[in-house]
Structure 1
Amino acid sequence: MKVISEIREISNTLSRLKSSNNTIGLIPTMGALHKGHISLVEKSIAENDITVVSIFVNPTQFDKQEDLTNYPITIEKDLELLEKSGCDFVFTPKANEIYDNNISSQKFLFDGLEQQMEGKHRAGHFDGVGTIVKKFFLITMPNIAYFGEKDFQQLQIIKKLVELEKLDIKIIGCPIHREEDGLAMSSRNTRLTDQQRKDAPFIYKTLKEAQNKIAKHSFTEINSWVSEQFKKHKTLNLEYFEIAEEDTLKTAIKRENNKKYRAFIAVFADKIRLIDNISL
């Protein structure tokens, strides 16, 4: 495994490999890696000749400076995990080079996908995501890029980004990896106190119960039920729960035939924000 921090070196290296008919798989990450990330790496290794993981804590996608400051940095552990996984290259750029000494976001319109859920609560977040993912795509030019479904809205937006920018890259969404108690694996979980970690599986438990209610209850009834469950909870505060169409991410009012729906949730454990979703 080779670790490269300079744009020119990673770009030239991958360009040479690709010219020899090697296929390249890319997994963009912000580090603090866990088994969910490694599952993406393993899928890429199975499907490509070369696997590249980027590690970069992107400043432009944080709407709160506090979250950026507190984001866990575990680079040595990350590199050890990637070495064991069989990863070929790790790209670890510096912010000033990636942003050419101008750390700001490009503005994007993703056909309204960016205005739903996370977009309502995190100003500028998806401009930051679109900006950095576009940069990484142009630098590495992968054949396939892999993203976890925990950030399902982000996954849909990146698919739209590839379409709008006319990039010849296949985007693969991979299933959410969960702890044994159901909590979706996340880098933010490392910041939870013991009590918060004990309480956090309530999020997935609520999603599963909402999923079970679909057969006999309306979306409005399920929304109200979820809200009531969190009003009773002592340590977890509901930011939003929404049932949305998978393709458009628009809030769904009632069930229609031939449409896929997904429930999305964002919850605060004190200042730590956790998100999850489940197919309905």
Structure 2
Amino acid sequence: MEVLKNKKTLQDFIERQKEMGKRIGFAPTMGALHNGHLSLYETARKENDLVISSIFVNPTQFNNAEDLEKYPRDTDHDITILKTSGLVDAVYLPQVEDIYPEKTESQSYDYDGLENEMEGKSRPGHFDGVGTVVEELFRQVKPDNAYFGEKDYQQLAIIKKMVEKKQLPIKVKGVSIYRAENGLALSSRNQRLSETRKEDARIIFETLTKVNEWFKNTSIVNIKKNVNEIFDNQTNMELEYFLIADENTLKETDQREEKNPYRAFIVVNVDGVRLIDNMHLN
């Protein structure tokens, strides 16, 4: 596995691969890698000649400086995980100046309103930061296919919209949420939880599973009441929000139409660690 430590090294590598006609699959990360990330590379491996990872903790998508500082970083360990997996041909480790050559700030994006829903309400500017780093990585890596986990479903929708609007020649593909045995969605933030709290947090997935059942014959208003009651009875965790939204527009709804696809979204704070999850509703 090649370790590419700056933009010039990456560009030389990509140029050689393109000359050989290699089809490139790419999944960018912020490190603290786990099996959820590896599931992206497993999917990419099946569909491409070459698989590239990147590790870069992007400063412009954090609204909270303390959150940026606390974000887990262990690049050597991450490289070992990638090498051991055998799924990745190269990992790109850009420096801040490789992504932001002049000033560390975001561009502004219009995502047709997707950025104003859910996470966008509490994290202004967050998705401008996401769009800025992902667009720059796409322009540098030049992938044919790019892979993102459905755990961050709003982010996936926004990246698809950015690619569409910028007319980038890339297919963006979502990969199913990778879960621990107890159902907890794998996340780099989980590293900040004790084993006891990880086990307690299984209630998030259990709740979503109940919501999927309720959705067949219970009103959305009553589903919300049920979810609030579940978390009112929990200690050491706080429900930040739960909602059901149209999968295409991400707009929250209390009514449903037969033809529209819907998804449940939930954010729970467990011992100060913010956990997000979602589920497609049948």
Give the corresponding residue for 1:97: 98
CA shift, 1:100, in A, is: 1.0
Take 1:135 and 1:157, find their aligned partners in 2: how far apart are those partners? 15
Root-mean-square deviation over aligned CA pairs: 1.0
Map 1:169-180 to 2 at 5 A. Answer: 169-180=170-181
Say whether the 8 Å CA contact 1:41–1:85 is kept in structure 2: no
CA shift, 1:77, in A, is: 1.6
Take 2:225 and 2:115, find their aligned partners in 1: how far apart are those partners? 25
CA shift, 1:101, in A, is: 4.2
User: What's the CA shift string for 1:44-103, capped at 9, x where partnerless?
Assistant: 111111110000011111111111111111212211111122211100011133111411
The amino acid that maps onto 1:76 is: D
Stretch moving more, 248-257 or 147-156: 248-257
CA shift, 1:32, in A, is: 0.5
The amino acid that maps onto 2:148 is: F
Aligned: 1:267 with 2:268? yes
Listed as ranges, the gaps of 5+ residues in structure 1 are none
Give the corresponding residue for 1:62: 62
The amino acid that maps onto 2:233 is: K
CA shift, 1:229, in A, is: 1.2
User: What's the CA shift string for 1:175-197, capped at 9, x where partnerless?
Assistant: 00000000000000010123322
The number of residue pairs the alignment matches comes to: 280
Give the corresponding residue for 1:110: 111
What TM-score, normalized by structure 1, do the two folds share? 0.98
Take 2:99 and 2:160, find their aligned partners in 1: how far apart are those partners? 22
Give the corresponding residue for 1:51: 51
Give the corresponding residue for 2:80: 80
Give the corresponding residue for 2:149: 148
Say whether the 8 Å CA contact 1:59–1:68 is kept in structure 2: yes
Deviating above 6 A after TM superposition, structure 1's stretches of 4 or more consecutive aligned residues are none
Give the corresponding residue for 1:38: 38
Take 1:130 and 1:121, find their aligned partners in 2: how far apart are those partners? 17
Give the corresponding residue for 2:187: 186
Take 1:208 and 1:90, find their aligned partners in 2: how far apart are those partners? 36
Say whether the 8 Å CA contact 1:31–1:78 is kept in structure 2: yes
Question: Residue 279 of structure 2: SS of its match in structure 1?
Answer: strand
Give the corresponding residue for 1:164: 165
Take 1:72 and 1:119, find their aligned partners in 2: how far apart are those partners? 23
Question: Residue 224 of structure 2: SS of its match in structure 1?
Answer: helix
